[in-house]
Amino acid sequence: MLLRELTASVDHVRGAGPATVKALGRLGVSSVAGLLSHYPRDWEDRSREVPLRDFNKADAVCTTVTVLAHDWFGAGRMRTLKVYVQDNSARAALVCFNRSFLEKQLVPGRRYRLWGRFMYKYGEIQSSSFEFEAFSEGENPGRIVPIYPLTRDLTQKRLRDIIACALKQYAAHLENEVPLQILKKEALLSKAAALEAVHFPPDVHRLEQAKKTLIYEELFYLELMVGKRAMEKRSVAVREAPAREAEKVLLQQRLLERLPFSLTRGQEDAVAELNRDMDSPYPMARLLQGDVGSGKTLVSFMAALKAVERGGQAVIMAPTELLARQHAENAAKLLEPLGLRIAFLTGNLKAGGRGNLLKALASGEIDIAVGTHALFSKDVVYKKLNLVVVDEQHRFGVLQRHAIMEKGSRPDLLMMSATPIPRTLALTVFGDLDVSVIRDLPPGRKPVRTHLAMESNEARVYEFIRGELKKGRQAYFVYPLIEANAEQDLKDAQSMARRLAEQIFPDYSTALVHSRLDEEEKRTTMERFRDGTVQILVATSVVEVGVDVPNATCMTIEHAERFGLSALHQLRGRVGRGGEQSYCFLVYSDELTDDGKTRLRVMLENQDGFVIAEEDLKLRGPGQIIGIEQSGYLRLALADPLRDQALLERAREAAFALLKDDPLFSKAENQVIAEVLRRAPPFSELAL
């Protein structure tokens, strides 16, 4: 029997009464399978003696005591039992808040094994958080005890008892879910043994083996699913492969001839890779990674040109209207002269114009549609959508990426991101994507000089920026809030826009942009900043993605400690886009948390987005990385792809080898896998 076949309700477990069943329900545990995979969140090693005297030298005391006497204090409902105990090192008091029933269980004169957290209070060693068991002579008292996630009306002891019962009733019948050869090769335990040992490990070594077994199993199934999906993508051709080497794409050549610069090596390689993908019979699924400013937009235009030359349509989707508009303007500037028809589609179009636009998309009069999530609104129909480009892909959820793909018939997909995905994650959630990386920046870029400044020194920062403005450059000022907020004593964009315009830089033109302004106002403001009419742009993190104004050389982020690393890096990436030396000032307030300090130091010491992303991952953990939450990644119960990287790579290798050998799991020894995947895929959805 498979673990997941134990769908019987927990009330089938001997000793699980209605109250326990209800409490378990609150933990999300309703079936026997759920109960057995309610893994401990920690294990307490009670094989090591810690006498009462050493209560403050270790986390917890672990000793054998004799009960000396009972005492009561308080009155009425507050009446509380106190039990005095003693081991061979010291005396202590157990304070039994709301546990008067312990009067009967802790009998004076008898011996008990005792575990608990103690402190020195009112002249004695005390604990109100302890557990005990009757001591029996001759039995090895030491063992490792599971600590479970709990809920109201459930104690560790109750949960342990129930799980022990469930293991006794069911474990022996459980089948292995990882093929036997692999179990042997990796020296893993059987499923039954692993479950038993993860809940009630006889010793540390066995616990490690049990954890390794269950982690391996999770990763193995994760990779099976990743591999299976990658295979499915390549199972049905969407086009014929070109007979000989693909011809040069004329539109691409013409664009390159018109550019005032040539592609960087990284851009060239990326274009070559996507051309190859788009020539293969199977749909492209490629992730293009490149630091801010590496020129990914141009690469996506090259892909669009190939799709169009082949008679299809392309969409380029961006997460904000500001960025989408900028892409649309660039596309108009660069691609319309080649005879392409570009449309800009957002949620803010007026009914009339929108109607016409939708008609043009449906009839194929439009070649490239640039826009926001409006591109996949219900009523939008494409004649022949062949390429989907998702810019800043981490800003979109899985469902949104799905929705846009559904508008075509297995279109090519190019996802772009300036937030590098560490290799381990690339193997899991993005495991069925091909990856291109642009490592270089266009020539002539100078690294942005970054300075930290205390809030009290802001006047010096403003002075420096005045010097840059005098030279004809432009500046950004970014704040964590749009408007003043009574609860937070922070500078906000609105008030600072006024202050900067009226008091600090009265001789320069200042404008404000944030997410609550209407699109028309945002658009005109950005246009005026781009053409230089406005020299100072005061903003919130709306300018984080994509905005490209090469003449802006100063980025000041106030309350920088309030921003995450990836936001800081993206914001800094708004400057340093032209040939001039650029500057970034991170202004911080005095009460810096340790985390805030670390982030600012990382920014000061690093320019490389890949390094910064790795640091970010270390600080926040993989679950927090945007775009990963929705991906099913968090369904991993024990495994952590970062920590378990070596195991992950081996599981991946084994899973892929098995898929290659028996893609449909038709061999007898792989029936179990087919069954597991058929019953309930362990991972609901992966990245795409």
Confirm or reject binding of residue 297 to ligand ADP (CB under 6 A): yes
Gap between the Cα atoms of 559 and 491, Å rounded: 8
Residue 408 interacting entry, from Mg ion, ligand ADP, none, C-beta within 5 to 8 Å by type: none
- Of 72-80, 89-97, 419-427, 544-552, which part binds Mg ion (CB under 5 A)? 544-552
- Please, what is the minimum distance in Å from the beta carbon of residue 322 to Mg ion? 12
Binding mask 398-427 for ligand ADP (x = CB under 6 A): --------------------x---------
Does residue number 577 form part of the binding site for ligand ADP (CB under 6 A)? yes
Nearest distance, CB of residue 240 and Mg ion, angstroms: 33
| Closer to Mg ion by Cβ: residue 227 or 546 | 546
Is residue 541 a contact point for ligand ADP (CB under 6 A)? no
Paired strand residues for 492? 481
| Cβ at position 551, least distance to ligand ADP in Å | 11
Q: Is 290 in the site for Mg ion (CB under 5 A)?
A: no
**Would residue 478 be called left, alpha or beta, if left means φ above 0 and alpha means ψ between -120 and 50 degrees?**
beta
Interface with ligand ADP, residue 296, by CB under 6 A: yes
Q: Is 548 in the site for ligand ADP (CB under 6 A)?
A: yes
Q: 391 exposed, middle or buried (CB, 10 Å; 0-12, 13-18, 19+)?
A: buried
Interface segment toward ligand ADP; rule CB under 6 A; list 245-253, 293-301, 303-311, 636-644: 293-301
CB nearer to Mg ion: give 196 or 391.
391
Find the angle CA(69)-CA(75)-CA(80) to the nearest 5 degrees: 40
Contact 98, 104 (CB under 8 A): no
40, 293, 312, 408: residue in contact with ligand ADP (rule CB under 6 A): 293
User: Measured from the CB atom, is 34 or 293 closer to ligand ADP?
Assistant: 293
Does residue 176 belong to the site contacting ligand ADP (CB under 6 A)?
no
Binding mask 394-423 for Mg ion (x = CB under 5 A): ------------------------------
Smallest distance from ligand ADP to CB 117, Å: 52
Residue whose CB is less far from ligand ADP, 4 or 445: 445
Among ligand ADP, Mg ion, none, the one that 116 touches (CB under a kind-dependent 5 to 8 A) is none
| Contacted by 371, from Mg ion, ligand ADP, none: CB < 5 to 8 Å by type | none
Sort 430 into a burial class: Cβ within 10 Å, 0-12 / 13-18 / 19+: buried
Contact 163, 642 (CB under 8 A): no
CB nearer to ligand ADP: give 321 or 492.
321
* Residue 324 CB contacts under 8 Å (≥ 6 apart), including other chains: 316, 317, 318, 344, 346, 370, 371, 372
User: If you count them, how many residues does the chain have?
Assistant: 688
List 227, 295, 371, 682, residue binding ligand ADP (CB under 6 A): 295
Shortest Cβ 610–ligand ADP spacing (Å): 13
Residue 386 binding partner per list ligand ADP, Mg ion, none, with a CB distance cut-off of 5 to 8 Å that depends on partner kind: none
Q: Pick the binder of ligand ADP from 183, 192, 194, 263 (CB under 6 A).
A: 263
- Contact between 369 and 376 under an 8 Å Cβ cutoff? The reply is no
For Mg ion, the closer CB: 35 or 315: 315
User: Which of the ranges 1-9, 217-225, 289-297, 354-362 carries the binding residues for ligand ADP, by CB under 6 A?
Assistant: 289-297
H-assigned helices in 27-141:
32-36, 102-105
Residue that the structure tokens 């100078």 belong to: 446
Nearer to Mg ion, 90 or 549 (CB): 549
Taking the complex as a whole, the smallest distance from the CB of residue 390 to Mg ion amounts, in Å, to: 11
Report the candidate in 418, 426, 435 with the shortest Cα–Cα distance to residue 642: 426
Cα–Cα distance measured from residue 224 to residue 686, given in angstroms and rounded to the nearest whole number: 12
302 is a site residue for ligand ADP (CB under 6 A): no
Which one of 294, 320, 436, 553 is in contact with ligand ADP (CB under 6 A)? 294
Q: How many CB atoms lie within 10 A of CB 626?
A: 16
The least CB distance from residue 530 to ligand ADP, in Å, is 11
290 contributes a contact to ligand ADP by CB under 6 A: yes
Q: Which does 290 bind (CB under 5 to 8 A by kind): ligand ADP, Mg ion, none?
A: ligand ADP
Alpha-carbon span 30 to 41, nearest angstrom: 19
CA distance 284 to 304: 13
Instruction: Tell the smallest beta-carbon distance from residue 441 to Mg ion (Å).
Output: 13
d(CA 111, CA 590): 55
User: Which lies closer to Mg ion via its Cβ, residue 127 or residue 436?
Assistant: 436
Alpha-carbon distance of 668 to 656, in angstroms, equals 18
The site that binds ligand ADP (CB under 6 A) totals a number of residues, namely: 17
CB 122 within 8 A of CB 83: no
Which of Mg ion, ligand ADP, none is residue 263 near (CB under 5 to 8 Å by kind)? ligand ADP
CA dist 150 and 179 (Å) reads: 33
Closest contact distance (angstroms) between CB of 499 and ligand ADP is 31
In sequence order, what E strands does 319-465 have? Answer: 342-345, 368-371, 385-390, 412-417, 434-438, 449-454
Question: Does 116 contact Mg ion by CB under 5 A?
Answer: no
440 binds ligand ADP per the rule CB under 6 A = no
261 near ligand ADP, judged by CB under 6 A: yes
Which among 44-52, 294-302, 336-344, 642-650 is the span making contact with ligand ADP, rule CB under 6 A? 294-302
Member of 267, 346, 428, 494 binding ligand ADP (CB under 6 A):
267
- Taking CB under 6 A as the binding criterion, the range among 161-169, 260-268, 347-355, 422-430 that sits at the site for ligand ADP is 260-268
Q: Is 546 in the site for Mg ion (CB under 5 A)?
A: yes
Contact 438, 270 (CB under 8 A): yes
CB of 371 to ligand ADP, least distance (A): 17
Element (H, E) at 526: helix 519-530
Residue 509 CA to residue 642 CA, distance in Å, equals 48
> What does the block give as tokens for 7?
């769908």
* CB closer to ligand ADP, 484 vs 611: 611
Buried b (16+ CB within 10 A) or exposed e, 542-567: bbbbbbbbbbbbbbbbbbbbbbebbb
Residues contacting 603, CB < 8 A, separation 6+: 450, 560, 565, 568, 569, 572, 584, 586, 612
Q: Which of 645, 646, 641, 671 is nearest to 658 (CA)?
A: 671
Residue with tokens 């002539």: 444
CB of 334 to ligand ADP, least distance (A): 9
Closest residue (Cβ) to ligand ADP?
Answer: 295
Q: How many residues bind Mg ion (CB under 5 A)?
A: 1
The DSSP output letter for 677 is H
Residue 578 binding: pick among Mg ion, ligand ADP, none (C-beta 5-8 Å cut-off by kind): none
Of the candidates 536, 256, 580, 599, the residue with the CA atom closest to the CA atom of residue 444:
580
Q: How far apart are CA 297 and CA 571, in angstroms?
A: 18
Interacting residues with ligand ADP (CB under 6 A): 261, 263-264, 267, 290, 292-298, 418, 442, 548, 550, 577
Positions that interact with Mg ion (CB under 5 A): 546
